[in-house]
Amino acid sequence: MAKINNLKGGFKIVKVEGPVIFAVSDSIGETAELVAKAATVQFNSGHVEIRRYPYVTEEEDVVEVVEEAKKYKNSAIVCTMVLPEIRKKLLELAEANNIPILDIMGPMMDIVSRITNIKPKLEPGLVRRVDEDYFEKIEAIEFAVKYDDGKDPRGLAKADVVLIGVSRTSKTPLSMYLAHKRLKVANLPLVPEVSPPEELFQLDPKNVVGLTIQPEILYKIRQERLKALGLSSDATYASMERILKELEYADEIMKKIGCHRIDVSNKAVEEVAARILEIIRRGEDR
C-alpha cells in the first residue's frame, strides 16, 4: 500500500517502497515472468514482487503500465514485446521516467534475424501456439493408441474420424499418421464372427471411413505376414476363401453405415491419409 502523509490540511501520496518487477508482454507474459523469477531467486535481499501485465498491444496499455510502475520507489520492467512500435513506446516511457527496463525479445530477434537473414513474423503468441500444437499432437497420439483395434468402443464417439476395415488394411498406421496431424482417430477391425459395437452405427457416417482392398493384394500381404511371424502359409487367415468372406462382410457393414470408402490397394499411407483429410474437410464445409 502507498503511504499517505498529511500536508497542510491536504494529502500527498508517497511512493511505495517496493521492490516490484513488472513483467510486460504483448502475449501472455509467461516468458518475462519466468526470467524475472529466475533472476530474483539469486538474491537474498528481501522479497521482490513480480506482476505480470499480459496482452499489452496498444499505446494506452503501455502508458498504464508505466504509470503504475511510477508509483513505486523501487520498480523495474522486464518485457518480451514482439510488436516493434509498442516495444519502442514502452522503452521510451520507461527511460523518460528513470524506470530500469530490460528488453528480452528485441535484441534476441535482431540476432536471429541477422544469422538467418530472415525477417521476423512479428506475431505475438506464436510460442504458445506452437506449444498448443505439440500438446494436441501428443493427445491425439495417446488417443490413437488407446482406441486402436477396437479396444474400447467408447472411443468411437469421441473420435474425429473412425477407420473400419478387415485386418491388414493399414488401420493402425493410418491412425498414427493422422494423429500427427492432430486428429483423434479410432479404428475398428471388421470380423464376420464378431458383430460391430452398436456405437459404430450411431456415428455420423461422414466421420467414418471404410478401408477396402483388392482380394489378391490382401492375400499376398497376409501370406507375407504369416512368414514374418514364422507361421504356416496354409493358415485360414491367409486363404482366399477366408479373405473373400471377410471382404464381403465388411462391404455389408459399410453399406449399412453409408460411410466413405477408400481402396488402399497399392497406396502409401501418406496417400490414403491425404484422401481422409480431404473427406473430413469436405464434411466440415457442409
Is 165 flagged in the annotation as binding?
A: yes
> What angle do the packed helices 84-96 and 105-116 form, to 10 degrees?
140
Is 168 flagged in the annotation as binding?
A: yes
Is 5 strand, coil or helix?
A: strand
Is 232 flagged in the annotation as binding?
A: no
Q: Are the C-beta atoms of residues 124 and 100 closer than 8 Å to each other?
A: no
Is 169 flagged in the annotation as binding?
A: yes
Is 184 strand, coil or helix?
A: coil
How many Å apart are CA 139 and CA 107, to the nearest integer? 35
Residue with cell 506449444: 131
Is 286 flagged in the annotation as binding?
A: no
Q: Are the C-beta atoms of residues 102 and 39 closer than 8 Å to each other?
A: no
Is 166 flagged in the annotation as binding?
A: yes
| Grid cell locating 213 | 482392398
Look up residue 262 and give its amino acid.
Answer: I
Q: Which residues pair with 161 in a beta bridge?
A: 185
Annotated binding residues, written as ranges, equal 165-172
Annotated binding residues for ADP, written as ranges, equal 165-172
